[in-house]
């Protein structure tokens, strides 16, 4: 098997993992696991998968995890926590398909944050393709958020708002973690953030969750929860960084734009999720805009390419 074929296989597994992630969260909620409790158990199992990578030496100019890098990664943990908590709580009130489409608005937020914090990406505002992509992304996001038959239901509106907060938080995490990633590698960076995140999620679960549910739930529900964390969080992130090194970041990021389609199909089958014509059009516009934005950024140095 060639290196490219290995990359394609790895990316295919990632697409499956990240299409299923929000479906697993919704399933566990329906089975009785609250968002905070499953957050801890799933993230802990995912972090265990990537821990061995901390023993590997990086290839960047700084291969040792010194105090400075640990503090920067601690700062990156805050938006990662915001993303994880907002995302799982949102799925109490909205379906996985809609949430997955809304998550792609992170492309827009990432572009704005990169413009503010990284001078080498400010030239993008002179790119017509980039500006067109941002415009379509904004329009698609607004359509998904507002073009709904249940606009009068406050709990659904809260779910939509939290999904957008999750997208913004993920974009913030991506921007903050960019520099340490270039120094020690994507997988090692994520392993450290995973440890920090798991510790905080444990405290949150103690305060607001029900850790004792582990002893009450059927064994197969617990098995699905642990396996989903290991697969979607641990294996998903590890193979994504592996695929990026063999297929380029732009190819991987573009293919990830298709995950809402898989999520919607699975959610329709399991939960009966249905999106209106207006929402489907808006989702397509959002993905199209995200694609244009990614293509415009292809010439820039992208996070994780040096890992």
Q: What is the mean pLDDT of the chain?
A: 85
Percent of the chain with pLDDT over 70: 90
Q: Where are the domains of the chain?
A: 3-299
- Report how far residue 307's alpha carbon sits from residue 290's, in angstroms, rounded to the nearest whole number: 24
Q: At what angle do helices 3-31 and 236-247 cross, to 10 degrees?
A: 150
Which pTM was predicted? 0.85
Q: How far is CA 276 from CA 26, 188, 279, in A?
A: 20, 41, 5
Q: Are 62 and 262 in contact (CB under 8 A)?
A: no
Looking at residue 272, the DSSP 8-state letter turns out to be: -
pLDDT digits (tens, 9 = 90+) for 252-287: 777 788 889 889 999 999 998 888 888 889 888 888
State pLDDT tens for residues 117-173: 777 666 666 778 878 888 888 888 888 888 777 777 889 899 999 999 999 998 898
pLDDT in tens, 177-191: 877 877 887 788 889
- CA 133 remoteness from chain centre: 20
d(CA 268, CA 261): 11
């Amino acid at each position: 098997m060639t290196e490219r074929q290995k990359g394609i296989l790895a990316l295919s597994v990632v697409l499956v993992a990240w299409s299923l992630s929000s479906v697993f969260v919704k399933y566990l909620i329906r089975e009785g696991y609250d968002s905070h409790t499953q957050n801890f158990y799933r993230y802990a199992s995912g972090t265990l998968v990537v821990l061995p990578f901390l023993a590997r030496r990086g290839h960047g100019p700084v291969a040792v995890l010194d105090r400075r890098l640990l503090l920067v990664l601690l700062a990156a943990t805050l938006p990662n926590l915001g993303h994880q908590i907002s995302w799982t709580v949102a799925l109490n009130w909205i379906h996985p398909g809609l949430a997955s489409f809304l998550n792609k608005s992170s492309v827009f937020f990432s572009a704005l944050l990169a413009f503010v914090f990284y001078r080498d990406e400010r030239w993008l505002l002179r790119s017509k393709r980039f500006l067109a992509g941002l415009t379509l992304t904004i329009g698609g996001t607004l359509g998904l958020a507002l073009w709904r038959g249940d606009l009068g239901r406050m709990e659904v509106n809260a779910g939509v708002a939290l999904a957008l907060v999750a997208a913004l938080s993920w974009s913030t995490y991506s921007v903050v973690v960019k520099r340490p990633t270039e120094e020690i590698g994507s997988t090692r960076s994520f392993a450290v953030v995973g440890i920090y995140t798991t510790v905080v999620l444990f405290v949150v679960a103690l305060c607001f969750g029900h850790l004792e549910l582990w002893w009450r739930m059927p064994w197969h529900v617990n098995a699905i929860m642990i396996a989903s964390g290991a697969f979607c969080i641990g294996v998903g992130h590890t193979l994504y960084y592996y695929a990026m090194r063999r297929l380029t970041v732009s190819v991987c990021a573009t293919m990830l734009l298709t995950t809402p389609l898989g999520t919607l199909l699975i959610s329709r089958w399991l939960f009966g999720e249905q999106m209106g014509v207006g929402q489907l059009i808006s989702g397509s516009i959002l993905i199209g805009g995200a694609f244009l934005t990614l293509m415009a950024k292809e010439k820039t140095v992208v996070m994780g390419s040096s890992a």
